[in-house]
Amino acid sequence: MSQEWNLPRHATVCGTCGHEFEIGASFRVFLSLIDGAFRRDDVCDACAEPGHGGVVGWWRTRRKAPPEKRTHAFDREAIYAFFSRLDDEAQIDKRQFRFVLALLLWRKKVLKLVEATNAEAGEIWKYVAIHDGKSYAVVRPEMDEQQMESLSEQLESLLAGSDATDGEAAPVSETSRA
């Protein structure tokens, strides 16, 4: 018999008095079973346990500091210039990488997707650069999930300032010198 356990995350304030738990401060957590559902109540040491009954257990914990967000420096101009230099590439790996760069620049709102059309070369995505209005046609290459993952790892490595993946030279490093 399988049962799902959906417990809410810890609170940042006392459920009774509303006092904010400071980073590192200890407080009590009460787990109750009410009408067949579990309920979590985080309570400061100054307050009594919840009065609703049904408490099946409790423990003491501390409020942890929120994790620091890891962000990679993203130089939009450098990535855009790199994307532009790959404009007329015929090599399939460079075309695939250009497609992934276009997706990244679209996500970062450097490029705007205008339309997608079908042509002899395949599906073509037309973008316009937001800052200068320049148009780009990017062929959507046929890629399986593994190829997309590999290109994403190479891009992550490039953005992180590394030029290697798994100890080997990344295939796109040659294009970065172009």
Q: What is the pLDDT of residue 90?
A: 79
Q: Among 25, 48, 68, which residue terminates a domain?
A: 68
Specify whether 51 is located in the same domain as 85: no
pTM tops 0.75: no
Bridge partner list, 79: none
Check whether residue 83 and residue 168 sit in a common domain: yes
The verdict on 57 and 82 lying in the same domain is no
Q: Are residues 84 and 146 in the same domain?
A: yes
The answer to whether 59 and 43 are in contact (CB under 8 A) is: no
Domain end: 42, 68, 94, which one? Answer: 68
CA–CA dist 77, 56 (Å, integer): 57
The pLDDT, as a whole number, for residue 152 is: 78
Residue 47 confidence (pLDDT):
92
- If one counts the domains in the chain, the total is 2
Residue 110 lies in a domain: yes
Collect the ranges in the chain with pLDDT lower than 70: 1-8, 70-73, 159-178
Q: Which pLDDT score, from 0 to 100, does residue 30 have?
A: 92
**Is residue 85 a part of any domain in this protein?**
yes
| Euclidean distance between CA atoms 58 and 26, whole angstroms | 13
Same domain for 108 and 23? no
Q: CB–CB of 37/5 below 8 Å?
A: no
Secondary element (H or E) of residue 27: strand 26-34
Note whether residue 1 is domain-resident: no
| H, E, C per residue of 61-113 | EECCCCCCCCCCCCCHHHHHHHHHHCCCCCCHHHHHHHHHHHHHHHHCCCEEE
Q: Say if residue 113 is in the same domain as residue 34.
A: no
- 110 and 143 share one domain: yes
Does residue 2 fall inside a structural domain? no
Q: Which domain holds residue 33?
A: 7-68
Q: What is the pLDDT of residue 176?
A: 36
- Residue 139 and residue 172 in one domain: yes
